[in-house]
A and B are shown apart, each in its own frame.
Chain A
Amino acid sequence: MALSDHIQTFDYAVDDALFWVSDNAAFLFDGIRAGLDGFYGLVLAIFILPPFWVVALAAGLIGWRAVGPRFGALAALGLAACWLMGLWAESMDTLALVVSATLVALAIALPLGVIAGYLPSLDRAFEPMLDLFQTLPPYIYLLPAIALLGYGSATALTATVIVAIPPVIRLTSLGIRRTPREFLELGQATGVTGWQMFRKIRLPFALPSIMAGINQGLMMAFGMVVIAGIVGAGGLGKTIYDAMRTLNIATSIDAAIAIVILTMVLDRITQAFAPQRRETP
């Protein structure tokens, strides 16, 4: 057999497997789809139901408490600008997508990161998989996702979750693993239980690293917004995608500005939640 035959066999196998899964495990993927859509809808409702000024004011207030008065004012003004550009619904759609995807990613990645932090062997096993996810072009897993979950926000959400997971696992595991030795010793000498060691010693030391992971995951999720538009997620991604096809440069730039505003607001706020380590001099 020629090499091309082998490749063809491989391709058939992949196709067959995909069809088999979509035929035989349809109930599973329908369930996942319903769950993701439902969750996304819930998060979206929080952002889209109140009038725009309530959301802008809330962002301003959180920004003020978390970062400072100047940033709070800028965050509120930035969101108001999204409304002024006529992109409010799209912006909230995108925000809901990013936030819900990040939350789902955290639910998966935080526990895995903690376990990997305790088990170096698991951490080593994760490493190549995470590398793979981070280097593969996201388009690659959009197709199977469309095949299994269909065209729509569930697929966009899945793709976004996948890119948001690796940094959270990596940095959580790193934070848990890097507890200074003398504090592990302190815990042991004090007679802590395994849970107390995690809760009272490892976790506080890991928190800055974990928060950095969450922040990075969120940023990766924002990077998926336009791609999510292609698979039918709506929001600013769809606006840009549509504007690109009709060469509507002004609209695409407006949408890009809205994305930048949302990204900066969430970035600064999540960064500020990373607790300031009080270093011992």
Chain B
Amino acid sequence: MIHSSALGGEILIDCQSLWKIFGHNTRAALEAVTRRGATKADVLRDFNCVVGVSDVSLQLRRGEIFCIMGLSGSGKSTLIRLLNRLIDPSDGRVIVKGQDISTMDAARLRQVRARDIGMVFQSVALLPNRTVLENTGFGLEVQGIGKAERDRAALAALEKVGLSQWTDRYPSELSGGMQQRVGLARALTSDPEIILMDEPFSALDPLIRRQLQDEFRQLTKQLGKSAVFITHDLDEAIRIGDRIAIMTDGAIIQTGTAEEIILNPADQYVADFVAGISRLHLVKAHSVMIPVQDYLRTHPASEISALPHASADADMEALIGLISSGDRDAVAVQDGGRLTGIVTIRNLLLGLSDKPGRLERVA
């Protein structure tokens, strides 16, 4: 699920040291935090202010799905609302497609929200007095687009999410999963480049949730959209995200691919978090292989050409399959036909263990 190719694209959203402090005396509180290093507890006690987002910088690149994972109260919902300025930042800048939205006037900001950034909410927020089709075309209606054209666009978006048969129904006639599909279709109708997803699937039951996760990822990639996806569920972040940011206490403590975060957690908090995650599909051959010379030193009799072959992107499960179906105890890793390393059973087991520190010593 991880595509490192997505990491090189043009930057669509660039957040630079974003702060959000809630309360009345936010100026003074901000100064205390940034200049004098006051803690959250100090700020709460001295200024009666709450730090919602603390010095967050992140970049959303074209074509990638960027997941922000955090538990409730971590500030992730505040953060995503800073990206389209539903909440004004206390400090820092948000640059969307090269334009600083923190200084934009109201008319220009409306235009950016209407054309460039779609948003999907956890509560879905389908207007109960409108049909599915009318809800889906809402964004275009607001932009003053004629009924025929917006109905056509809305129907096309509903087709993408598989709901073209439900256009004349009312939201209350749809199941939770279908409602959220309409929410996604509504965000897609205005054809924005960026989609903000605020815990869209959290309220759904597990089966539907997995189905929608896969559909969402597929659709986003197919349409070439870029997305910021908020979730409190690490499994969901791993399933959907090209990159994941882990957020706690208003700050992002680590950003990287699922594999990077699992193999090299930035601190104990992240390590505890990723401890229960299955590595079978996340850890790839290139992360656990050892150099060929090292292998030959310990296995001088081994014949490399007789080992089964795997690509550098092969996951643990594929490697286990290769080893267990033959009589060899190692796999040769090839990248573009060139031999780059060896994965032994020992490396494999360490790659699956949730104590990745030892892996580094081996590899």
Contacts and interface: CB of A to CB of B under 8 A. Distances in A.
B142 A280 contact: no
B338 to A, nearest CB: 49
Interface residues of B, number: 29
A180 B121 CA distance: 13
B119 A189 contact: yes
A281 interface: yes
Contact of A281 (B115, B138, B141, B172): B172
A232 interface: no
Interface string A90-123: 0000000000000000000000000000000000
A183 B196 CA distance: 16
B34 interface: no
Interface in A178-206: 180, 182-183, 185-186, 188-193, 196, 200-201, 204
A124 interface: no
Contacts of A190: 113-114, 119, 138-139, 142
A279 B119 CA distance: 22
Interface stretch (B37-45, B125-133, B287-295, B317-325): B125-133
Contact of B121 (A182, A196, A201, A277): A182
B113 A191 contact: yes
Interface string B101-125: 0000000011111110101010111
Nearest to B129: A204
Among B121, B128, B139, find the residue whose CB has the most chain A CB atoms closer than 10 A: B128
A1 B311 CA distance: 106
Q: Which of A188, A191, A200 has the most CB of B within 10 A?
A: A191
Nearest to A203: B129
11 contacts: A180-B125, A182-B121, A182-B125, A185-B121, A189-B117, A190-B138, A191-B142, A200-B138, A278-B129, A279-B172, A280-B179
Interface of A: 180, 182-183, 185-186, 188-193, 196, 200-201, 204, 275, 277-281
Given A189-B84, A200-B138, A281-B172, 14 more contacts: A182-B121, A182-B125, A185-B86, A185-B121, A186-B125, A188-B86, A190-B113, A190-B139, A191-B110, A191-B139, A193-B110, A196-B142, A200-B127, A204-B127
Top 7 closest A-B pairs, CB basis? A191-B114, A191-B113, A191-B110, A189-B119, A186-B125, A182-B123, A278-B128
